[in-house]
Amino acid sequence: MFRPVILLATALSLPIAIAHAQPARLAASYEKSVKKINDAHVRKPGKNSEDDLEKKDAGTRKRALDALLRSKLSPPRIDALVRCGEAALDLDLIADFKRIRKALLKGAPDQASKLGSAHSHKRFLLHGIGGLDEEYLAAFAEVFAAILEGYDEVFGFREWSKVPGKKLRVRIHLEEKITRPPHFAPQYPYHSEIDFPVIDAKRLYSPTRTGKFLFYGLCHELGHVIAMWGHRRLEEDHHAWAHYTGVVLVDHVTGKHAGKAWRKELRDQRWRSLDKERTKHAKTKASLDDRSGVMKLLIELHDLVGPRAIGAAINWLDKKDRRLRINHVRYYTFKELRQSFEKTLKDRKRLAGVKKLLPG
Ligand SMILES: [Zn+2]
């Protein structure tokens, strides 16, 4: 008599417990799979690209996601899907992300909009928050790809993400008013990310009516992604490096894509260009003392050796990979840059000029 009673009780309570525990367990299994792959990659990136990584352990994630999407959306199931959607972005699992977003749009639109939209490109992943749709992200991607291609053509930097093989991320969020400018967010463990506020969900144009230079801002932030200077307590370039690469890129992209419709929306060059900086710093003396001095130094370096040679010097330091890294972010010094020019610059006369500009 005793045993059947227990069995009956267990049989009754179990399905209810499963209904609540299972979505959370499935989300945890999905997140764990993504984390395991990213942790292993950070420890030993090798030659793996993000496309290679996303094939690993795919079965575990598919099982979890299929199970979550199989039945009707309940609050625990919605929470679990949002967790999976966020984890999917850490591994560029765009197909999973889209499946999740589609299901949420149907059954939980508020949660779908909280999760946001995404666009995956072979070099980067865009995450749109606050009501930016896929169409907006596709237009943004065209501009961002043109800027990256511009960097390839002008400087030829090889290593973009602080973790080799991982795509760059841009987190684009729609705001009523831009209170914080775009910034490089170095804290993410697995990739380099730019935080980018916008104010118009329909069009990407710059400058904004209140004078925010979004186009220059993107070019500028990529300068930070490529190189930070000094160390934790010393910004050796006084914030001039990203300004320098930013204006050089505004010039290049503006000139190269003159005929494109999207380019007509980006008019920053009138206010942000290398020529403007030349005029502004005509009487400045090149130095490492302040922002003006470093800007002048970079302009003189640019004119002396050309941006390609600057890119080659940075690439040489990356290949050696002995300079400082903080949270995987690469930090350089102007002394190291000079040492790199000594190895990479063949022209003796130009090298003598570099030695006058950069500290020994
Ligand atoms: Zn900056």
Gap from CA of 328 to ligand 1 centroid (Å): 18
Q: Give me the residues paired with residue 137 across strands.
A: none
DSSP SS3 for 317: helix
Ligand 1 centroid to Cα of residue 221, in Å, is 6
Task: Using the mean position of ligand 1's atoms as its centre, give its distance from the Cα of residue 197 in Å.
Answer: 14
* Cα 94 to ligand 1 centroid, rounded to whole Å: 29
CA distance 273 to 33: 46
Dihedral in degrees, nearest 10, Cα atoms 27, 29, 32, 34: -80
- Please state, rounded to an integer, the average pLDDT across all residues of the chain: 93
In angstroms, the CA 265 to CA 207 distance is 9
The residues pairing with 320 across neighbouring beta strands, listed in sequence order, are none
Threshold 0.85, pTM exceeds: yes
pLDDT in tens, 229-285: 999 899 999 999 999 999 999 999 999 999 999 999 999 999 999 999 999 999 999
Pairwise pLDDT comparison (4 vs 74), residue with the higher score: 74
Distance of CA 173 from the midpoint of ligand 1 (Å) = 18
The pair phi, psi for residue 29, each rounded to 5°, is: -70, -40
| Per-residue confidence band for 6, with pLDDT thresholds at 50, 70 and 90 | very low
Q: Could you tell me the distance, in angstroms and rounded to a whole number, from the CA of residue 96 to the centre of ligand 1? A: 34
What's the pLDDT at 7? 46
Q: If you measure from the C-alpha of residue 220 to the centroid of ligand 1, how many angstroms do you get, rounded to a whole number? A: 6
Residue 5: predicted pLDDT: 44
**Residue 222 C-alpha to ligand 1 middle, in angstroms?**
9
Residue 242 Cα, ligand 1 centroid: separation in angstroms? 6
pLDDT tens digits for range 28-67: 999 999 999 999 999 999 999 999 999 999 999 999 999 9
State the distance from the centre of ligand 1 to the C-alpha of 261, rounded, in angstroms.
28
pLDDT in tens, 172-189: 999 999 888 889 988 899
Question: Ligand 1: distance of its center to the CA of 51 in Å?
Answer: 30
- Residue 234 Cα to ligand 1 middle (Å): 15
Cα 226 to averaged position of ligand 1 atoms, centre (Å):
12
Q: Which residue in 268, 182, 264 sits closest to 223, CA to CA? A: 182
Q: Ligand 1 centre from 192 Cα, in Å?
A: 15
